[in-house]
Chain A
C-alpha cells in the first residue's frame, strides 16, 4: 500500500540532545513537508522540499534541519538549538503538477523533552 511512514511514533529526549525523525513515502511524490503541531493549535510549516537535493525554510525553521538526498526520504533533525521542541511532528507529501495540490500526511511523531 502507498503511504507515508513516520518513525518513531513516540520519542523522548533529554535537553541538549539532537534527535532525528524519519519520514519515508512510497507515493512517488516530488514534494515533502514537515509541520509542527502544539497542543490545541493548528499546524505550522517547518521545512519543505520540492525536489531532491533542494529544500526551503518554512515559518518556524530555527532549531531544525533537514536533508533530501532521496526522493522518498525527508528526515527532520531537531537540534539542541530548538528551545521548545516538545510537539507533534507531521510529515506530508504531494505531487508537483497535481491540480488538486492535496497533501497526504503520515501518522506523526510525538516528541517529548524531559
Chain B
C-alpha cells in the first residue's frame, strides 16, 4: 500500500525567511504532484514533476523530485503572507494510472 508522508504538518514562519517542506513516499514512482489549497477552497495545481531530478520553480516556490530517495521537496524562498495555505503532495498509486494518493498536507502560515 502506498503511503505518502509530509512534514512538517504545520509551519509558522516569518516573512522573508526560507523553509523546506518534505514529501516522502513508500513505493516506486517517477511522478509527483504538488497542490495548494486555500481555506475552504479546492486544490490548485502547482507543480508536476515527471522524472528523477526534475526541478520546477514558480515565483518563491521551487519543487524537486528524487525518485531514488522517494523524496520531493518544496522550497519556499523569502516567504510572503500570500503563500499562507495548505500544500499537498500526491503520488500515483501505480505507474500507469492517475489515481493519486495524497499526503496529509502542510499548513503554512506566514506572519508579517
Q: Which residues does A use to contact B, with CB under 8 Å?
A: 31, 33, 35, 40-45, 48, 58, 90, 94, 96, 98-108, 110
How many residues belonging to B are interface residues under a CB distance threshold of 8 Å? 24
Chain B interface main SS type: strand
A40-B12 Cα distance, complex, nearest whole Å? 16
* Interface residue stretch chosen among B43-51, B57-65, B66-74, B75-83: B43-51
Contact count A vs B, C-beta below 8 Å: 56
The smallest beta-carbon distance between B98 and chain A, in angstroms, is 5
Q: Which residues does B use to contact A, with CB under 8 Å?
A: 4, 31, 33, 40-45, 48, 50, 88, 90, 92, 97-105, 107
Give the residue of B43, B50, B88, B107 whose beta carbon is less than 8 angstroms from that of A100: B50
Q: Are B33 and A102 in contact (CB under 8 A)?
A: yes
A42-B98 Cα distance, complex, nearest whole Å? 17
Q: Are A100 and B99 in contact (CB under 8 A)?
A: no
A-B contact list, 8 entries, CB within 8 Å: A31-B98, A35-B102, A94-B98, A101-B31, A101-B92, A101-B98, A102-B48, A103-B33
Instruction: Decide yes or no: A102 and B43 within 8 Å by CB, A41-B104, A43-B88, A43-B102 being known contacts.
Output: no
